[in-house]
Amino acid sequence: MVVVWPAAALAQGGPPIPGPVDRPEGFAEVRAKYEGLSRDVVVEAGYEIPPECVAVPGIGGMGYHATHPERYQEQFEAGEMDAEHPPILLLDKDYVVRGLEWEAKDIGQGELELYGQTVELQPGHPGVEEPHYMLHAYFRPDGKVLLISSASVPPFDPELECLPGMPGTGAGGMAGGGLPLGSTAATLSLLMASGYVVLALCDA
């Protein structure tokens, strides 16, 4: 798995990372359904958890991406985000749900809006090569939430970490067992030449 982001979004002096905001209307209910769920409960609910935990020292992390295949496919292909049924749960190093994620395909619908956020069209990446819409929501104390929906801000929670040595983590902006040969290497070379930064790399 590879995570990439435009270099301009990471450059010093670029757009600041947004701060947590008070609970958006309707968010408290969906948060209460998922916050703190364990790995076993997440799996029982139909989500699939990959072995990789995505984090980059000095930037933050997204953790484990537990994905509900049916929800993801339905919402993504329709170009819609179902506020009450997140297709992706973000788990921390202890396999506890710390955030939620929505993704939607660009079908010409224009910018989306979810929980008071304008969700911008964001660059594609290996795995989902086409540009698409994403909203990341990370839980904060006292009902606050960190919402990232901008194309200019990497969707990482500065407070979310993975255990050292986990697949998908590492220093220097690259992780895993080295760059694999073949089409993946060619893709990464093209991305970096086009102004992208490889944030995490690990075996699929």
- DSSP string over 89-113: EEE-TTS-EEEEEEEEE-SS---EE
Tell me the pLDDT tens digit for each residue of 103-126.
999 999 999 999 999 999 998 865
* Long-range contacts from 184-191, C-beta under 8 angstroms, 24+ separation: 184/2, 184/126, 187/2, 187/126, 188/2, 188/4, 188/126, 191/4
Sorted by where each begins, the domain ranges of the chain are: 15-161
Tell me the pLDDT tens digit for each residue of 1-34.
444 555 444 444 445 667 889 989 999 999 999 9
Number of alpha carbons in the 13 Å side-chain half-sphere of residue 90: 24
Tell me the pLDDT tens digit for each residue of 90-105.
999 999 999 999 999 9
Which strand (E) or helix (H) includes residue 41? helix 39-44
Residue 192, helix vs strand vs coil:
helix
Distance, CA of 121 to CA of 195 (rounded, Å):
18
Predicted pLDDT at 16: 62
Predicted pLDDT at 166: 55
> What tokens were used for 67?
């994905």
Which strand (E) or helix (H) includes residue 7? helix 7-10
200 and 59 Cβ atoms separated by less than 8 Å: no
Percent of the chain at pLDDT > 70 equals: 71
Percent of the chain at pLDDT > 90 equals: 57
Distance, CA of 45 to CA of 37 (rounded, Å):
10
Evaluate if pTM is beyond 0.95: no
Predicted pLDDT at 59: 81
The CA-atom distances, in angstroms, between 97 and each of 34, 73, 139, 182 are 7, 21, 9, 35
Q: Which amino acid is at 117?
A: Q
